[in-house]
A and B are shown apart, each in its own frame.
Chain A
Amino acid sequence: MRDFTPNEMMTIAASRALSNDDVCFVGIGAPSAACNVARLTHAPDITLIYESGTIGTAPEVLPLSIGDGELCETALTTVSVPEMFRYWLQGGRISIGFLGAAQLDRFGNINTTVIGDYHHPKVRLPGGGGAPEIATSCKEVFITMKQATRGMVEKIDFYTSFGHGEGGDHRKRLGIDTKGPTLLITDLALWKPDPETKEFTVVSLHPGVTREQVQETCGWKVRFAQDMDETPAPTELELTTLRDLQARTEQAHGGKRGV
């Protein structure tokens, strides 16, 4: 087995969570690499959907934007943006929404809107795009992000998209009948919500990662499952597939890694 980086482990662990039968709404950022590695390894028939309207896309390289021409050229079909959001997302056709996050709390609520007060922000981030409805209309939501105390925080500054709110049955109380965040994949661990409290709990540490490392890079007090697993290291095929995809992408975009 070759050496691998924590980022590679994150992408590959995320890719393993996707199956051949999934219809996946691919968010901007880290999710796209994971979804395409899944498609190129164990899930060749997975349906990848980008919010630009491309359904069943199979890009040779990772797109730089969610509306790159290659997404359309390799898609089964391309629909308008209103149709994408109305029929396909709101209509309940998507099994998994895959999101990245700038700020995340222990209940899977995401902020990509502002740091500080909304009306007088310290930093104005891009905002939600499709995420507010991806978070509630997909049957379930996977989140992937690199661990850091400024990203994984006790309290997010803005609820761009709703996870489990204050935990427990908060989704149900708001009339949301989808599962919400069911998996968090970081560069150090796999996390799943506690069945009752809905707080993200570490269920698997990536190879060589310690509990201390997970806690040091997380802004809330981390809960660990009683029977924790170790995430299997990337296989030769997974690693080669990811690296080839990234090399093709960098070549195509002149040094840029794509999303």
Chain B
Amino acid sequence: MAKFQSLKEAVAENLRDGDTVAFEGFTHLIPHAAAHEVIRQGIKDLTLIRMTPDIIYDQLIGMGLARKVVFSYAGNPGVGLLRRMRDAIENKWPRAIETVEHSHAAMANAYEAGAAGLPCAVFRGYRGAGLKDVNPAIKNVVCPFTGEELAAVPAHRPDVTFIHAQRASRRGDILIEGIVGVQKEAVLAAKRAIVTVEEIVEDFDDLHPNLCVLPHWTVTAVVEVPGGAHPSYTHGYYSRDNASYLEWDKISADRDLFTQWMQKNVLDVGPDVFAARVKGL
């Protein structure tokens, strides 16, 4: 049953040191405010799952909170590389991280398998690809009916999934519109799910019948954080702040600059700053 609470309480009650956690949102609806709260609380030794780690995982990794990262595209979309993640992989700064690398198809299938309660995902993939030689979690299985060789990867079963969405109803049902990504699967695969939303509305009575709605009983906590996806975007509310993505390339290039930026823009503030960041976007 969804509990309405502050972001501070939702994170403190649900995420522990050493947990496996997924923050999802495919370019759209990335839960930045929630990731910043995790950084403020210094919850560490996390195994981070995310298809495209992008800025939020660059920040979690750069702050030394990640032990392991499971991913399929370690880039700053449209800009370039993830410099904090690279520094951790190449130079072990601020700590060494373990990486488990997949393709997007494998990650999407693994979330779906998790949501479906299966132990693994089976799909036609990785043929001729080098990842299966360096990632022992990629196996082959043979179809018992046709004999076709297929790829298998373990299902994702995060302890906690964080997502950002457009709206929640007073009951805690969640509406996701636009590029829906892999969020429904990531929530249903997780033991606990925390959802930040742009706004809370009375009910969903006037919605189209086939929209992506997660019932309140699939969600652990709901938090209203206007602007909570910034610099990602929320379809129908504000656009992607492309300038911030470009700026991140410079901030993340330097350890000191990064540390200062995190202090000023994450550690010293709270989730209430996000609303102002999306004004005019």
Contact = CB atoms under 8 A, between A and B. Distances in A.
B173 interface: no
Contacts of B111: 82
B214 interface: no
A78 interface: yes
A176 B240 CA distance: 38
Given A82-B112, A85-B104, A165-B128, A127 B78 contact: no
A160 interface: yes
A129 B73 contact: yes
Contact of A52 (B27, B72, B240): B27
B153 to A, nearest CB: 12
Contact of B235 (A69, A136, A165, A176): A69
A124 interface: yes
Which of the listed residues A69, A71, A135 has the most CB atoms from chain B within 10 Å of its own CB?
A69
Q: What class of interface size applies to chain B in its complex with A?
A: 35 or more
B109 interface: yes
21 contacts: A64-B77, A69-B179, A69-B233, A69-B235, A78-B179, A81-B181, A119-B134, A124-B81, A124-B89, A126-B82, A128-B131, A132-B103, A132-B125, A133-B104, A133-B124, A135-B128, A136-B124, A136-B125, A162-B128, A162-B129, A256-B246
A2 interface: no
Contact of A89 (B75, B105, B242): B105
Contact of A256 (B52, B178, B212, B242): B242
Given A127-B75, A127-B101, A159 B182 contact: no
A221 B123 CA distance: 38
Contacts of B77: 28, 64-67
Interface in B123-158: 123-131, 134, 148-149
Which of the listed residues B26, B108, B185 has the most CB atoms from chain A within 10 Å of its own CB?
B108
Main secondary structure of the interface of A (DSSP, over half): loop
Contact of B105 (A54, A64, A68, A90): A90
A57 to B, nearest CB: 11
B245 interface: yes
Interface string A59-86: 0000111111101100000111110111
Contacts of A140: none
B77 to A, nearest CB: 4
B30 to A, nearest CB: 9
Given A65-B27, A160-B129, A160-B130, A78 B86 contact: no
Interface string B59-86: 0000000000001111101100110011
A117 B20 CA distance: 28
A248 interface: no
Contacts of A84: 108
Contacts of B105: 85-86, 89-90, 130, 132-133
A121 to B, nearest CB: 7
A127 B27 contact: no
Contacts of A176: 127-128
A127 B129 contact: no
A70 to B, nearest CB: 9
A195 interface: no
A131 B111 CA distance: 19
Leading 10 A-B pairs by shortest Cβ distance = A67-B27, A162-B128, A126-B75, A65-B77, A129-B73, A159-B130, A64-B78, A82-B108, A132-B129, A85-B105
Contacts of B85: 124
A217 B233 CA distance: 40
Contact of A81 (B51, B81, B126): B51
Nearest to B148: A175
Interface string A110-140: 0001000011010111111111110111000
